[in-house]
Amino acid sequence: MTKLSIEPDYSYIAENIKRVEERIARAAEKSGLGIPVNLVGVTKTIDEERISYAIKNGVSVIGENKVQEFLEKKDGIDFGDCKKHLIGHLQTNKVKKIVGQVDMIQSVDSVKLASMIGKYSAESGITTDILLQINSGNEENKFGFTADEIEERCHETAGIEGVKVCGLMCVAPICEKDSEIRNIFSNIFKKFIDIQGKNMDNIKMKYLSMGMSGDFENAILEGSNMVRVGSAIFGAREYR
């Protein structure tokens, strides 16, 4: 008897990527801002095969939440030119392990963390691109700088060797109404533009990373140019 080997069918991932890209393009056009919007495929809990498939089918940046999970999976992923971002809360005792392994750390939520990333980066002779995480004001997503302090913290971070601030990142709360979430995104966009306009040394306010599967269109309408999309690409996550 011959054993049937059945190739797993991941075509739904390719279809989802296309659909998400279309939705991004439509929202970007509607926003009228005329800026390209970057898609980060969020791969937490997703296995190496599916991630490699997604990369082959158009995902050019992936985002992982946990250092340990990323390090365990990375050698099994066919990255090609795909960039790697860390998007989850980074504990200071994991900094050494992740520096040099990713192209950007989006979730920098304290000046101390930025200093540690800078220290290990400088020791390895590299500069790590970072985003400063801004707290949108809700309880559950407690990580990040407040809108009131973000400019001051940008200044402080700009002086740290080994890191380059490339923009802001936020995780918005779940809102009942579109108007509510758009208001939150809009306020963060204003801060982003504000800081951009000040042309601080060693600060390049290039990326505004906001918007996930449930809210990325609203985020784009309010000025996001980087969305982090997981479940709309890979389906609902199964946590082990």
Ligand X SMILES: *Cc1c(COP(=O)(O)O)cnc(C)c1O
Which residues here bind ligand X, judged by CB under 6 A?
A: 42, 44, 65, 87-88, 171, 212-214, 228-232
- Cβ distance to ligand X smaller for residue 100 or 235: 235
A 10 A CB-CB count for 210 gives 29
- Cβ distance to ligand X smaller for residue 111 or 232: 232
Find the shortest distance in angstroms from Cβ 88 to ligand X.
6
Find the shortest distance in angstroms from Cβ 171 to ligand X.
5
A 10 A CB-CB count for 201 gives 7
- Cβ distance to ligand X smaller for residue 162 or 222: 222
- Cβ distance to ligand X smaller for residue 122 or 214: 214
For ligand X, the nearest residue by Cβ is: 230
Find the shortest distance in angstroms from Cβ 151 to ligand X.
23
Find the shortest distance in angstroms from Cβ 191 to ligand X.
19
Look up tokens 């008897």; give the residue: 1
- Cβ distance to ligand X smaller for residue 90 or 160: 90
Find the shortest distance in angstroms from Cβ 238 to ligand X.
12
What are the strands, taking DSSP E only, across the chain?
38-42, 61-64, 83-86, 104-108, 128-133, 163-169, 203-209, 226-229
Handedness of CA 147, 149, 155, 158 (dihedral sign): negative
- Name the pairing type of β-strands 61-64 and 163-169: unpaired
Euclidean distance between CA atoms 47 and 205, whole angstroms? 33
